[in-house]
């Protein structure tokens, strides 16, 4: 590979990408930053899909209830299938928003905080 420059040729700066040391701190920081951005974009779209599912299932609750057979266990504990599907739809929307804005770990820690204090974790 040939590099043209008006300055003195420096092999360290003009090295092709295949010869860059992957353990160099600048390269590590750059790849970590790129991976974090990709993970945040991926989390955003996954959270968006979960939230969309929660909103759509909340909107068409009656159709979903008629689509699935009734469960005596759910009817006993929640009163009706409508209530169960509405609660799960709202829960899916909340979890989707938490994942979308990268608050999933914080939400899980908040929910599990009493158990962590109980068991001394």
Kindly tell me if the per-residue pLDDT of 104 is higher than 70.
Answer: yes
pTM (predicted TM-score): 0.61
- For 97-116, b/e burial (b = at least 16 CB within 10 A) is bbbbeeebeeeeeeeeeeee
Per-residue pLDDT band at 2 (split at 50, 70, 90): very low
pLDDT single digits (tens) 11-36? 445 445 555 555 655 555 555 656 66
The model's pLDDT over 49-87, given as tens digits with 9 standing for 90+, comes to: 999 999 999 998 888 888 877 888 888 888 888 888 899
């Amino acid at each position: 590979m040939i590099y043209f420059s008006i300055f003195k040729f420096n092999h360290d700066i003009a090295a092709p990408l295949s010869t860059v040391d992957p353990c160099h701190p600048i390269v590590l920081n750059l790849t970590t930053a790129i991976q974090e951005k990709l993970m945040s974009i991926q989390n955003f779209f996954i959270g968006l899909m979960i939230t969309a599912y929660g909103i759509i299932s909340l909107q068409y609750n009656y159709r979903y209830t008629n689509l699935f057979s009734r469960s005596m266990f759910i009817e006993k504990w929640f009163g009706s299938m409508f209530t169960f599907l509405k609660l799960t739809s709202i829960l899916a929307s909340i979890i989707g928003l938490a994942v979308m804005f990268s608050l999933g770990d914080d939400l899980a820690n908040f929910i599990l905080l009493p158990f962590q204090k109980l068991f001394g974790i």
